[in-house]
């Protein structure tokens, strides 16, 4: 019951993720083959593809958890909260988790900005997240297109704030950058 440790070492999945990030940083995404990742993790190429749908997905393992966190936070907002307030609650919810892992985020981000294929994957994760939040708002009684537009604005603020947050030299916390972003967007739409 406790075993389940594959054939040899435990946590093959985690070893693959670690090996992949290391290699992507060391020599670049394109210059890394899946066989090399698997070898460094002490596994085979075929096993890599059992854990991750493709070579890119290994960098996006946390996105499901992020989505769950944000959706839960938006759903838990008080009934009388406005769509924007519920969305803002989702943003606040992820703030702490991000601030704890800034260096990891920078490392990962440096790989992604260097490769268009990875940016595509990041963008579709963001789009799915947007849809999930829009669905949550709809369940809260928000109509269309208001729900989609609000979710889009919220994720837009998140995205812009995230990019500022990982920029070299930036020391403010992501929550502060997101608050500032919401205010700025309000001002611009006024």
Partner DNA sequence: CACTCGATGTCAGCCGCTGACCTCGCCTAT
Partner DNA sequence: ATAGGCGAGGTCAGCGGCTGACATCGAGTG
Using CB under 8 A as the binding rule, whether residue 1 contacts a second copy is answered as: no
Using CB under 8 A as the binding rule, whether residue 150 contacts a second copy is answered as: yes
Longest alpha-carbon distance in the chain: 61
Shortest distance in whole angstroms from residue 112 CB to DNA = 16
Using CB under 8 A as the binding rule, whether residue 121 contacts a second copy is answered as: yes
Task: Identify residues 53-82 at the interface with DNA (CB under 7 A).
Answer: 53-56
- Who contacts 132 (Cβ-Cβ below 8 Å, separation ≥6)? 67, 70, 71
The per-residue DSSP string of 107-164 comes to HHHHHHHT-HHHHHHHHHHHHHHHHHHHHHHHHTT--TTHHHHHHHHHHHHHHHHHHH
Using CB under 8 A as the binding rule, whether residue 28 contacts a second copy is answered as: no
Of the candidate residues 35, 64, 65, 123, the single one contacting a second copy (CB under 8 A): 123
Question: What is the number of alpha carbons within 13 Å of residue 178 lying toward its C-beta?
Answer: 24
Task: Identify residues 31-50 at the interface with DNA (CB under 7 A).
Answer: 32-35, 38, 42-47, 49-50
The site for DNA (CB under 7 A) is made up of: 1-7, 12-13, 32-35, 38, 42-47, 49-51, 53-56
């Amino acid at each position: 019951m406790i075993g389940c440790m594959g054939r040899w070492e435990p946590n093959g999945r985690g070893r693959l993720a670690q090996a992949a990030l290391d290699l992507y940083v060391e020599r670049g995404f394109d210059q890394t083959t899946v066989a090399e990742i698997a070898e460094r993790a002490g596994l085979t190429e075929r096993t890599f593809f059992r854990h991750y749908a493709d070579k890119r997905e290994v960098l996006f393992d946390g996105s499901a958890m992020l989505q769950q966190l944000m959706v839960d936070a938006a759903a838990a907002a008080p009934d009388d909260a406005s769509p924007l307030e519920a969305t803002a609650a989702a943003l606040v919810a992820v703030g702490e988790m991000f601030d704890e892992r800034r260096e990891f985020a920078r490392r990962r981000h440096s790989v992604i900005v260097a490769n268009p294929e990875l940016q595509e994957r990041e963008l579709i994760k963001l789009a799915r997240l947007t849809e999930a939040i829009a669905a949550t708002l709809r369940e809260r009684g928000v109509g269309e297109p208001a729900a989609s537009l609000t979710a889009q604005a919220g994720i837009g603020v998140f995205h812009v704030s995230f990019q500022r947050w990982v920029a070299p030299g930036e020391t403010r916390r992501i929550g502060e950058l997101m608050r500032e972003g919401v205010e700025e967007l309000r001002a611009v739409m006024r």
